[in-house]
């Protein structure tokens, strides 16, 4: 849901969300204000009752929005940390293979470099489109097969092989966790709840009886902020998508400082 927003700059989409919410709320206000006023405000204390209901609903809906926003931010932060840990594990694995004798060292390090470049140059663009890249699996399998060919002749070699396998298994685990988050997001039913809640909130604002300029100002302020909050949730819902998504900067740094050959 909302996948199209990731194709444009964040600031422009935030502005668009706010403008759409303002347009919908003002259109509804103009169309139904007179009808609702005649229907509801025959009762003298209708405004007080509506204000009480609006306050209660805003508190419940605000808590829901806050929890959803916090959940998406927490997921975004965890994905950022996951990528950092994967880059650190990749660097450790590359350093471990530097202690292998030839020709194993050159072969293993070449395969790590190839995997890193693939992840940066091909895997990440696919992730930004919501596609789980599969090319890394073959490269990981080839590396694992070549690593198993090494037969240590002493205790030092056994320790080195065991540590390298530990780092490799951790890399595989982190990679799988990263790929699992490419298509994860807020369930559709929760988006429906947020949408219905936004509509109910607007309708309750339309029901209030006050001077038109005050009513319109209140509607614009509340609906614009509501639109920005919804945009914030949508933009963080898919951590890898869009220009503000989690990027391969940590992997690129590891490659440039450790793996790149002159």
pLDDT digits (tens, 9 = 90+) for 187-202: 888 889 999 999 988 8
Tokens of 67: 């929890």
Residue ranges per domain, the chain?
Answer: 3-259
Identify the band that residue 154 occupies on the pLDDT scale cut at 50, 70 and 90: confident
Cα–Cα distances in angstroms (integers) from residue 189 to residues 71, 109, 186, in the given order = 16, 46, 8
Euclidean distance between CA atoms 121 and 139, whole angstroms:
14
Cis preceding-peptide flag for 103 (omega within 30 of 0): yes
pLDDT at 156: 86
pLDDT at 262: 43
pLDDT at 171: 92
- Average the pLDDT over 57-79 and give the result: 90
**Does the pLDDT at position 226 exceed 50?**
yes
pLDDT digits (tens, 9 = 90+) for 104-126: 889 999 999 999 999 999 999 98
Tokens of 193: 């709840």
* Global pTM value: 0.81
- Average the pLDDT over 52-71 and give the result: 89
Identify the band that residue 150 occupies on the pLDDT scale cut at 50, 70 and 90: confident
Number of other residues whose CB lies within 10 A of the CB of residue 59 = 10
Q: At what angle do helices 10-40 and 188-206 cross, to 10 degrees?
A: 50
pLDDT digits (tens, 9 = 90+) for 229-259: 998 888 888 888 877 788 899 999 999 988 8
Cα–Cα distances in angstroms (integers) from residue 137 to residues 2, 118, 228, in the given order = 30, 11, 39
pLDDT digits (tens, 9 = 90+) for 204-220: 888 877 788 888 888 89
């Amino acid at each position: 849901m909302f996948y199209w927003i990731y194709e444009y700059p964040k600031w422009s989409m935030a502005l668009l969300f706010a403008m759409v919410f303002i347009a919908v709320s003002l259109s509804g206000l103009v169309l139904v204000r007179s009808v609702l006023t005649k229907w509801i405000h025959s009762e003298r204390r209708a405004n007080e009752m509506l204000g009480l209901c609006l306050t209660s609903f805003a508190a419940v809906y605000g808590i829901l929005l806050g929890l959803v926003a916090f959940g998406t931010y927490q997921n975004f932060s965890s994905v950022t940390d996951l990528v950092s840990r994967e880059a650190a594990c990749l660097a450790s694995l590359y350093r471990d293979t530097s202690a292998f004798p030839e020709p194993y060292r050159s072969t293993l390090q070449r395969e790590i470099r190839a995997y890193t470049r693939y992840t940066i140059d091909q895997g990440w663009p696919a992730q930004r489109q919501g596609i789980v890249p599969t090319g890394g699996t073959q490269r990981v399998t080839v590396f694992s097969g070549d690593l198993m060919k090494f037969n240590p002749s002493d205790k030092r070699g056994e320790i080195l092989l065991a540590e390298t396998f530990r780092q490799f298994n951790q890399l595989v685990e982190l990679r799988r966790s990263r790929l699992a988050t490419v298509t994860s997001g807020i369930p559709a039913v929760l988006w429906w709840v947020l949408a219905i809640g936004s509509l109910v909130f607007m309708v309750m604002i339309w029901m209030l009886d006050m001077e038109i300029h005050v009513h319109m100002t209140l509607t614009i302020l509340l609906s614009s902020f509501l639109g920005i909050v919804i945009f914030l949730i949508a933009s963080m819902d898919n951590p890898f998508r869009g220009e503000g998504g989690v990027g391969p900067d940590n992997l690129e740094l590891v490659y440039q400082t450790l793996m790149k050959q002159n």
